[in-house]
Amino acid sequence: MKCLLSYLSVVLLILTSCKNQNTEGKKLYNQHCIHCHQEGGKGVGKLIPPISGAFLKDHEEDLACFLQHGMKGEIMVDGVSYNHEMPPNDKLTKFDMVNMLNYLEEKYGTGRTDKYNVERVQKMLNGCP
């Protein structure tokens, strides 16, 4: 009986902690990203690009820098050109970035929930231009 209880509580703990990780990412998206990228990451016309899985993949080593420092100049997203400045989000902590990038990868990319961790994000930030 004790075994069963501890087994169940471990399972519950894992399930709820996994859920928290991506709920946190979603919360961060709604706080910091939604005013430009809108619900469902759909963007606004040719003004604001959508959140694109292809873009997330092509720039997987730069994403933390985009969050930290913003983006200026022309970029291509899914074959369309955009040229509207993305402001820096330098108040985000490394942990925020891990949660947000994993949320974006899960929702708009491959569906993987653990692509990013703190070490990877820190490495990216160290290498920002």
The residues that touch other proteins, with contacts defined as CB under 8 A, are: 34-36, 38, 44-48, 84-85, 87
Of the two residues 38 and 113, which places its CB atom closer to other proteins in the complex?
Answer: 38
Q: How far is the CB of 3 from other proteins (least distance, A)?
A: 50
Q: How far is the CB of 84 from other proteins (least distance, A)?
A: 7
Could you give the dihedral angle defined by the CA atoms of residues 111, 67, 73 and 108, in that order, rounded to the nearest 10 degrees?
10
Phi, psi of 76 (to 5 degrees): -110, 130
Of the two residues 1 and 85, which places its CB atom closer to other proteins in the complex?
Answer: 85
Q: How far is the CB of 58 from other proteins (least distance, A)?
A: 23
Which tokens in the block code for residue 53? 């899985």
Contact present, 84 and 12 (Cβ < 8 Å): no
Of the two residues 50 and 109, which places its CB atom closer to other proteins in the complex?
Answer: 50
CA 117 to chain centre: 11
